[in-house]
Structure 1
Amino acid sequence: MFKFLKVLIRLKFSNVEEITSKELAQLLLDSGKPRPLVLDARSQTEYAVSHIETATHIDYITPDLAVLSTVPKDNPIVVYCAVGYRSAKLAQQLNEAGMKCIYNLSGGIFQWANEGRLIFRDEQPTQVVHPYNAIWGKLLKSSYHAQEE
């Protein structure tokens, strides 16, 4: 199902470039390249459970683009959500607003976590991710599901 979903996202948002979790992990470690701005386009509740370490939360429905005013136009920006749909939609909006070097994280934080990459809560590593809902949560390994709070 994950593969099918990725194809649908690519078809709907064909003008949005993607970056894989492996590519993002390498980019975050490469001190010789500009550090990407990582934007988490999930709800504040999802973000509070866990996120990629350097991520900044942004509302994907009504994004505050002023947050990006200090970012150089050629600085890479990577947007992610649970599986990639909301972030692709936001990446498209950023492209239309004139931002350059916008990437959608393919597979979102679910794929990031499923691959065993580090996720954080309150600046501390954690092992859980908000599963979004019962349907989409099936794409996240059950060992990473956050319990209802």
Structure 2
Amino acid sequence: MIKKLTLLFYLFLLVPLLSTAQPTIKKLLKKHNKESIPYITLDSLLTKKEYVLLDTREEKEYNVSHIKDAICVGYDFFNIKKVTSTIKNKDTEIVVYCSIGIRSEDVGEKLAAAGYTNIKNLYGGIFEWKNKNNPVYSKDSLETNKIHTHSKYWSKLVTNAEKIY
């Protein structure tokens, strides 16, 4: 009886630790995002015809790979004037993305503060995009299988690409 109680005790102790040990996109978004900018899923995005796609990662990430036709606006050095000079109509549908959707939410909030009214955050970002076998392109506009993942920790979220960090 004592062995069973001890085993149960350790199970109750270890199961929560094991379930949080492996990061997932869903867990990280829930932890870091407020959902102040509504998500758009990959499936929904793929059905749309007219929108502007903003890559909110840094230029070195964008140069490794990006989604076709995305405009690199960066994160650390994001400049709202670059966006306002490019996208004049504040009602234009804008989809922001980054690696998984954390930095893009921050940039989406800045766009909203500047008066843009139709902003969506790509759920799972470029990692989920590539994990679902969608194409990404190098700075030379050539299709590539590479994704910039920052580190081994973040690279665990990419399952279908060559990981660069």
How does the TM-score come out when normalised to structure 1? 0.85
Distance 1:147 1:68, change over 3 A: closer
Q: 2:39 aligns with which of 18, 23, 38?
A: 18
Separation in 2, partners of 1:6, 1:42:
16
Residues 61-81 of structure 1: CA distance to partner in whole angstroms, max 9, x if unpaired? 332222222421111111111
The one-letter code sitting in structure 2 at the alignment partner of 1:125 is E
Contact between 2:80 and 2:110, CA under 8 Å: does it hold in 1? Answer: no
Residue 44 of structure 1: CA displacement? 1.0
Match of 1:128 in 2: 146
Query: Larger % of helix: which?
Result: 2
Greater RCO between the two (CA within 8 Å, min separation 6)?
Answer: 1
- Residue 62 (1) aligns with residue 77 (2): yes
Match of 1:81 in 2: 98
Aligned amino acid, residue 157 of structure 2: L
Structure 1 residues not aligned, in runs of 5+ = none
Unaligned 5+ segments in structure 2 are: 1-23
Equivalent residue for 2:9? none
Shift of 1:136: 1.0
Is the partner of 2:149 in helix, strand or coil?
Answer: coil
* Count of paired positions: 139
Output the aligned Cα RMSD.
Answer: 1.6
Does the CA contact (< 8 Å) of 1:49 and 1:146 recur in 2?
no
Inter-partner Cα distance in structure 2 for 1:97 and 1:88: 14
Matched, 1:6 2:29: yes
Give the direction of change, closer, same or farther, for the CA distance of 1:54–1:47 in structure 2 (3 Å limit): same
SS of 1:129's equivalent in the other structure is: strand
The aligned amino acid for 1:44 is E
Identity %: 32
Does 1:90 pair with 2:113? no
Farther off after superposition, 87-96 or 64-73: 64-73
